Amino acid sequence: MSDRPPLTYRNSGVDIDAAARATSRIKALSAQTRTDGVLGEIGGFGGLFDGAFPGVAEPVLVSSTDGVGTKLRAAFLTGRHDTVGGDLVRHCVNDIGVQGARPLFFMDYVATGKLDPDVVASLVEGVARACREAGCALLGGETAEMPGFYRDGEYDIAGFIVGVVDRSRLITGRGIRPGDLLVGLPAAGLHTNGYSLARRLFLEMAGWTVDTHVPELGTTVGEELLKPHVNYEPLLRPALERNLVAGLAHITGGGITDNVPRILPERCRAEVRMGSWPVPPVFELMARLGPVAADEMLRATNMGIGMIAVLRPDALDAFASAVRSEHFVVGRIVEGDPGVVYVR
């Protein structure tokens, strides 16, 4: 007989009681996002949502999934965890919004080495807040404690979203044609892309910390890196309802260079004019510190434009009236090889 005490899951690094405490707090946060379509309560093996969509004649479900990437490192370094979850939701809402879809429900997955209920609750609080703002339900999720897989104090979060659009209002980009305008909506900052480059420039090459106040930015490095990802869906919804938009491109990884071609039909290419919108100081600072070439900045970051709408020239005034938000004509569609963005 061995004198050693029995081995438990907790001895091996997984605290089921901590997970239960975190789940209890998450249930309360999820309840605050409940919408009319939600059936049942969070905590089951699957989330339930009513498939009836009033006012939608031919419903098309649109789904997407994503993560926050290395923006999480900024959360780790600052100890602030209540913003990156919201960034994840807003990113996913934008990804389905470019096809005209309204968000219905969202689900998240949080994985960590050692589960800290306070950190997880703060993280999911940001998710729930963004869900409420977007009018979608936090329908469920999963929290996984994986000792030895993640370093202490670190975690990863991913999300999955489902939305709906009437087939007649589905935005595919097939109607884009030469002569159409590219209209950009400004970004709040890096959003959720370009963080590996930004950390290399700010924290390694410049030798700053997240607490360093940079006059050119008007804030600290940490505050700049944690600026929220903008949700463009409510801004664009009035324009979508009036059928003013021929195509939408969410400017994420790959920047303007790689994302605009994703919506272009054959014999159409995009011509983007640099200097047609104000580039926020963070991007100018990054380019100078590297130095980082202009074409690299355009692929690694959004350069201050988070969403691009394609519309007919005669729809510009109506679009401006509908969105009631700052926007810039940043280029146009011309004839040429498909999938090409020409920047000048």
If phi > 0 it is left, if psi is from -120 to 50 it is alpha, else beta; for residue 312 that is beta
Quote the Cα angle for 138-143-149, to 5°. Answer: 145
The total number of structural domains that make up the chain: 2
Domain span holding position 228: 181-343
Sign of CA dihedral 17, 18, 23, 24: positive
Task: Outline where DSSP puts E strands in the chain.
Answer: 38-39, 48-49, 59-67, 102-112, 137-145, 155-166, 181-186, 213-214, 219-220, 247-250, 268-272, 305-311, 328-335, 341-343
> Based on the domain organization, do 270 and 326 belong to the same domain?
yes
> Based on the domain organization, do 134 and 236 belong to the same domain?
no
pLDDT of residue 7: 47
Peptide bond into 281 cis (omega under 30): no
pLDDT digits 0-9 by tens, 297-322: 999 999 999 999 999 999 999 999 99
In CATH, what number is assigned to the domain containing residue 319? 3.90.650.10
The answer to the question of residue 6 being in a domain is: no
249: number of CA atoms within 13 Å, CB side? 28
pLDDT digits 0-9 by tens, 3-23: 666 645 465 455 655 656 666
> Based on the domain organization, do 156 and 191 belong to the same domain?
no
Sequence-distant (6+) residues with CB within 8 A of 315 are 244
Contact, 251 vs 259, CB < 8 A?
yes
> Based on the domain organization, do 134 and 105 belong to the same domain?
yes
Q: Which of 148, 169, 190 is the last residue of a domain?
A: 169
All residue ranges of the chain with pLDDT < 70 are 1-26, 42-43, 338-344
Contact, 186 vs 227, CB < 8 A?
no
